[in-house]
Amino acid sequence: IISVLIRLIKIDTLTTFGGEQAYDLENVRSILEGHLKFLGPKHGPYNNICEVHLGPFYYYLLAPFLFLFNKDPIGSAYAVVFARVVTVFLIYLIAQKLFSKPVALYSSLIAAISPYWINSLGPPATPYFILPILGALAHILITIKKKNLFNFVSIGLLIGFLLQLHYLSLITIPSVLIFFFFNKKLSSIKNISLIILGFIISMLPVIAFELKNNFFITTSFLKQIFNANNAGGFTQLFSKASKVLE
């Protein structure tokens, strides 16, 4: 309740929008008018090499909020608030499971009233939705039971959704693999197959777009990684990492 109240104060006047948000919301409006989208928002680095795009999950995530607010852009701001509130709730659940109820209360209270978290509520963007989905994934992994097959499908679904919000979410794949490596009782072929099934379902729009457009998203992503002149992009990151290891 505290988290909701703090974030809703003067939301109409404090919310800002930029050119990227206008582009994204125009695509969401198009979805509400019955035009499906298979290509998502543009993703940096922005340069003259090529355009990198995410999957369309972000658009479909915002669509219900814009529908509720009669296509008013402020609906996307409420979506961000909703994401933050869900994150606070998941922090409570995870902390309670790993530690104790008092720790869960303190940690969720800090997240709810954190000045940084409140002040950083800028223009609606994909990163705001990573934390609640990542929190949901962490909660499933912490509480997972072998007999609940839906949990394994959900893991695949959530990983696919994360990849459509930011490419840094690729780190979740080796993280989940490590988890199952150390939990061999859960690592049956059936369970792994269910995870893959969930991942494919969540990535279906991307897969359909890639097959129709000669793997446009994949090609653009690889160009950004391996282009030697991309000083501001992925290559610089890998170059710095190599120097550290040396």
- d(C-alpha 177, C-alpha 175), whole Å: 5
**H-only helix segments in 99-188:** 101-113, 115-119, 130-143, 149-163, 172-181
With 0.85 as the threshold, say if the pTM is over it: no
What integer is the mean pLDDT of 196-219?
92
HSE, side-chain direction, 13 A CA sphere, residue 219 = 9
pLDDT score of 125: 82
Judge whether residue 184 has pLDDT over 60: yes
- The overall average pLDDT reported for the chain is 82
Query: Element (H or E) spanning 53, and its range?
Result: strand 52-53
